Structure formats: C-alpha cells, structure tokens
Structure 1
Amino acid sequence: MKEITGTTKLIGILADPIHHVKTPQRMNEHLSTVGYDGVLVPMHTKPAHLAATVNGLRNLENLLGVIVTVPHKTAVLALCDDASEATRLIGAANVVRREADGRLVATMLDGEGFVRGLKDAGRAIKGKSAYLAGAGGAANAIGFALVQAGVSQLTIANRTTARAQDLLERIKSLYPDAVVRVGTADPSGHDLVVNATSLGLAEGDPLPLDTSKLEPTQLVCEIIMQPADTALLKAAQAKGCAIHNGAPMLAGQIALMAEFLGVDAE
C-alpha cells in the first residue's frame, strides 16, 4: 500500500452495505498508475445519516469528493448544491465533487461509464439502434448516455410500462429530436441489446428479455459484474451473438470519476 502523508488527498465511497464494493481497489490502482497522491477509502453510511454525513464533507479541506452507490444515489442529489441538467433529469448521482469553498457538485457517470467501456472495447455506438432492458437508476443513466452518444434509435423495455414511458419523456425533454420508444420483451431488430436491470445477479433470476428473439448480428451487453457470465450472456452466446460483460463499465467509470474529481498526474 502507498504511503499516506499529510498531503494525501482523500476520496470516499458512500454505501450501505459496503463490504462488497470493488471501486476502492480499482480507483487506488488508477491513482497509483497516474502518480497522484490520493487515496479512496470506504465510508459506511446508513440512509438515516446520509444528510449529516454529506453536510460534514463540506468541511474536509483535503477531500476531493465522494463516489456514491447503493442505496444513496437518489437521495444524495438533493443534498448537493449543483448538478448538470442531465443528472437532474436522471434523478440520481454517483459522484460528488467538493469545491474549494465547500460547495458540492454532483454528477451521474453510470451511463457515460457504460458508453466509454463499449468504446474502449472497440464497439461502435453512433448510428446503431439500441434496446434497453430496464428503467431504474442505472437504466436511466444509460438511456441518456446512449442518446448522447448518437444511437439512431432507443427502445426502452420495462416490466412497468409507465416507468419506461417516464424515462422516454425525460430523455425527450433534453434531446427532443431523439428517436425513443417504449418496447416489449422482444429485442429483435436492434444492433445493441443492453440489460440494465439487476436480473442476473442471483442464480435463478428470470431473464430480463426474450432471448429466443436474439439474433446473431446483435451485441448483447450486461452491466452486472458478478457473475461475469450471466444467464443472459450465456443465452446470447448460444444464439451466436457477440457479448460485452459488466467489467468495462466500471473501468470506464474509474477514469471518468477521476477526471470529474480533478485527479491529474503529478
């Protein structure tokens, strides 16, 4: 482990529970690689104490900011002073930067991290049609990011249709010319198929979409990191599809988070 001194900058990660998080390992590896004198530490915070914890962060002069994960992504947004329009429309944040005057600026990088992970893997996005399973927190961010990245069409499919429609309307409010529609469990006719639900985390979970409709020309993507080979990805491979697992999304986010927090090589 690197030596921590009085000049070391701090980054936190807020979660509950927190034992399972992988971000500290990845971010500290990144900080070491770029030669930055900083360290990311876990900060176990219960929902009832989130407001007090976040308010206290304003007073930590050597704090760059915090990464925010389950279950705090939605609640933290209202506790910050500023956020981009897209972040406010998404309704959640996963990184908060502390400015020199103690102001807190929030952003959501789940979607941008997913897009960067695809691009880093050499996958084209612009001009492709995309199918998005889910309309929850991560799906919200990914939907906005895919449209921003230039997909030709976005289809949102969710068990509760009203939530898919709500996400569609929020995307259209920011990108009025985007082609967005509400879909069904059938992912056929799209270039990219993205599972942005939590289905696949647990053994025995139902599939997030109708895998019998998958086509060999499609790229099927996961945001789940463990297990690396979900039931969806196995079914996709059996249909001859290319696959993209969840790990590149975290890798993409680490670089984006570092940039947002002001980490530069020394």
Structure 2
Amino acid sequence: MRGTGKADIFVMLAHPVGHAKSPGIFNEIFEQKGLDSLMVPLSCRPEDFETFWAGITAAENIKGVIISVPYKNIVYTKCSGGHDRAVRVESANSVRRLPDGTWYADNFDGVGFIDGLKAGGHQIAGKRILQVGAGGAGSSLLYCLAEAGAVEIRLADLDVARAETLAAMVRKSFPDCRISVGAADPSGMDMAINATSAGLKATDPLPMDVSKLTPDMTVVDIIMEPAETALLAAARKVGCRVQPGRPMMDFQVEAMSRFFDIEHRGSNDV
C-alpha cells in the first residue's frame, strides 16, 4: 500500500509544472516495486521561492526533489554540497536530503542527454554542433558534449553575456573543443540541439533558423511534450535525423533512481 503516514515523499518542482513527466514515471516505479513512496508535482511563483523552499526543508519526510525551470540554479545555492556535475555548472536538477537535514545536489541533464544520444545511434566525438540555450540544462549539456569529444560547438543564447561566461568555463576544462558564441544558425554543423524551453507551447518561436538545416544534419530537442516539437517536424521535412526529448528523460530516471537509492528503500510497514 502506498501513501501511508510512513511514506517517503519526493517532489517535482517547476514553474509551471503541468508539463512534468517525472511524477507519473516515478509513481509507476514505486507502484511496481511495492514501495510506500510518492512523488508529487509542486509549483510556486518565483517571488515566493524562499518561503516555499523553507517549507520543503522543514518537511522532514521529503527525501528528494527533482528540479526544472526556472529553479535549477537557485536550488543549487541551497545545498551543502554536490557532485562535480552540479558544482561545475552551479545548477541542480536533483537534490536529496542528507542525514543532517541538509541537501546534496546532482545534475543528470547532461548524463541523460548523452546516454540518450548514444542509445539512438548518434555520434558525438568529432562532430560540429550548434547548441541553442545556455541556461540550467544547457550548461550541463555543453560540458558533457565537450567531454564526449565534440570538436566544435557554437553556443547561442538570447543572453549573450551568459553564453560567453559559460563558453569560457567549458573551454577552460576542455581546451581541445572549439567553443564559440554566435547566432542560432546550424550552417556547417553536423548536429543542432535545442536546449531551451522554446517549443513547449504551440505559439513559441522556433529556437533556430530551420531554413539552414540540411538532410545530413541531426536535430535534437530536449522538450518531451509535445513529443514532436515544431523544430523536429521542420527537421523531418528537410530529411534530417531527429532525436526527441523522451530518451533524455528515460536515462535521467535511471540515474535519479540510483541517486535517490530507490532500489534499497524497500517496502515500509503500514
């Protein structure tokens, strides 16, 4: 039986949170494993975040939180420590409660993204890549793409200063990868990636110049819903190979399950 007074509670935090798939995915896992655990979707306005987070921390039976836009960076600042993946980008997409009540951060955006690409048969090493987005997810992706052997990455973001800062940080860690900041133009690239939230709504503008796509390119979108974004639909018309957002989530779920130690929680007594 799930949802007893002894349940371990996990939270999915985003604003808005209606598009989030994690609660459904994890609750299905808990059900399959017979665990007295629940994941609930929660949201708050950015101006209410401090009050919200104080409440999350005070709730002793909340064991972990998955974080999405726009809270990845600010939640990281609330943690007492973190894995290098989170520390290097100062961004958390998962935190777990430590025995002393403080939070420990990790970031599986890049891990899930790279594993998803590899599972889809997409090569990264030696490739030239356009990445649009230098925010919470984009920061993690840029590091992991450089680490996976991309030879060149063009980074585009509406906040050019943010993009320049991120590019400089990644260059320092991976000097063999040529990283520049420029327009969201896929010309000359082998792969084009949308690492922004553009595409969640039908009215969103396309994140890159699709008129410059060619059939030899691979186009990737991290958005899960809709499964085929306007960007991917446009890329298919050109003849590009495409990769939707769901594989990234699936591989993140595996990593997050280990992070939250779900395998060893066992069933609680009612």
Q: Which bracket does the TM-score occupy, shorter chain normalised?
A: 0.7 to 0.9
Report the count of equivalent residues: 265
1:121, 1:37 → 2: CA distance? Answer: 34
Deviations 1:148-187 (A, max 9, x none): 2232322212344333222201212333443322233321
On the 8 A contact 1:51/1:79 being kept in 2, the answer is no
The alignment partner of 1:10 has SS state of strand
3-state SS of 2:263 partner? coil
1:31 aligns with 2:30: yes
> What residue in structure 1 maps to residue 89 of structure 2?
90
Partners of 2:43 and 2:204 in 1: how far apart? 28
Note if contact 1:30-1:254 (Cα within 8 Å) is conserved in structure 2: no
2:148 pairs with 1:149: yes
Identify the residue that residue 226 of structure 1 maps to in structure 2.
225
Q: Deviations over 1:106-137 (max 9, x none)?
A: 12222222222222323332333321012222
Check whether the contact 1:77–1:91 (CA below 8 A) recurs between aligned residues. Answer: yes
8 Å Cα contact 1:92/1:137 also seen in 2: yes
> After the TM superposition, which residues 194-213 of structure 1 pair with which residues of structure 2 at under 5 Å, given as runs?
194-213=193-212
Equivalent in the alignment of 2:139: 140
Moved more, 48-57 or 185-194: 48-57
Structure 2 partner of 1:117: 116
1:2-59 deviations in Å (ceiling 9; x for gaps): 5334553221222333344221001122334455542212234443443344345455
* CA apart distance, 1:81: 0.6
Q: Distance in 2 between matches of 1:202 and 1:5?
A: 37
CA RMSD of aligned residues (A): 2.5
- The change in CA–CA distance for 1:203 and 1:58 in structure 2 (over 3 A counts) is closer
Instruction: Tell me which moved more, 55-64 or 38-47.
Output: 55-64
Deviation at 1:82, TM superposition (A): 0.8
Distance in 2, Cα, partners of 1:188 & 1:132: 12
**Superposed, which structure 2 residues align to 1:159-198 within 5 Å?**
159-198=158-197
**SS of equivalent residue, structure 1 residue 132:** strand
TM-score using structure 1 length? 0.86
Q: Which residue in the other structure is 1:100 paired with? A: 99
| Residues in 1 aligned to 2:181 and 2:18: alpha-carbon distance in whole angstroms | 37
SS state at 1:166 partner:
helix
User: Does structure 2 retain, via aligned residues, the 8 Å contact 1:211–1:236?
Assistant: yes
Q: Which amino acid aligns with 1:226?
A: E
Partner of 1:217: 216
Identity of aligned residues (%): 39
Partner of 1:252: 251
User: Once the 2 structures are TM-superposed, how far is the Cα of residue 246 of structure 1 from its aligned partner?
Assistant: 1.6
Q: Note if contact 2:235-2:242 (Cα within 8 Å) is conserved in structure 1.
A: yes
CA drift at 1:248: 1.7
CA separation of 1:126/1:237 partners in 2, compared to 1, >3 Å: closer, same or farther? same
Deviation at 1:67, TM superposition (A): 1.1
Distance in 2 (CA, whole Å) between partners of 1:67 and 1:152 is 32
| Residues 26 and 181 of structure 1, relative CA distance in 2, 3 Å threshold | same
Equivalent residue, structure 1, for 2:242: 243
**Residue 15 of structure 2 aligns with which residue?**
16
CA, structure 1 residues 49+211, in 2 after alignment: closer, same or farther (shift >3 Å)? closer
Which stretch of the first structure deviates more once superposed, 176-185 or 100-109?
Answer: 176-185
